[in-house]
């Protein structure tokens, strides 16, 4: 990701690909409006509408390269969480 190291969680039980809004801001990634905004609720946090998405290009161990469309979400568990769509 722009030659930066980041934490990725691969979650086969999830149906969304998401990226941390903090990371998007920190490395100045381009975002776009989400075509179908939706609401999400984290444990012990308020419901928020997800209205932006971001194309993430990444590599794993310099042997696997991919890109995925992620919804931009406020989270601190990791930088990127990849669900089943990935």
| pLDDT for position 35 | 92
Q: Is residue 74 part of a domain?
A: yes
Cα torsion at 38, 43, 47, 53 (round to 10°)?
Answer: -40
pLDDT in tens, 22-44: 999 999 999 999 999 988 887 66
Quote the number of domains for the chain.
1
In terms of residue numbers, what domain contains 45? 8-82
- Partnered with residue 82 across adjacent β-strands are 10
Q: Is residue 43 part of a domain?
A: yes
| pLDDT for position 47 | 79
Q: Is residue 65 part of a domain?
A: yes
| pLDDT for position 44 | 64
| pLDDT for position 52 | 95
Phi, psi at 26, each rounded to 5°: -65, -40
CATH code of the domain in which 26 resides: 2.40.70
Q: Is residue 13 part of a domain?
A: yes
Separation in Å, CA 56 to CA 29, 45, 72, 74, 86: 9, 26, 11, 16, 11
How far is 58 from 66, CA to CA, in rounded Å?
A: 6
C-beta separation of 58 from 2 below 8 A: no
Q: Is residue 61 part of a domain?
A: yes
Q: Is residue 1 part of a domain?
A: no
Is residue 1 predicted with pLDDT exceeding 60? Answer: no
How large a percentage of the chain has pLDDT more than 70? 94
Classify 19 as helix, strand or coil: strand
């Amino acid at each position: 990701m722009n030659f930066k190291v980041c934490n990725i969680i691969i979650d086969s039980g999830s149906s969304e690909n998401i990226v941390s809004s903090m990371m998007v801001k920190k490395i100045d990634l381009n975002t776009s409006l989400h075509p179908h905004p939706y609401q999400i609720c984290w444990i012990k946090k308020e419901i928020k509408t997800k209205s932006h998405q971001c194309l993430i290009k990444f590599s794993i161990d310099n042997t696997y390269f991919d890109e995925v469309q992620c919804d931009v979400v406020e989270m601190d568990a990791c930088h990127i969480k990849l669900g089943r769509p990935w």
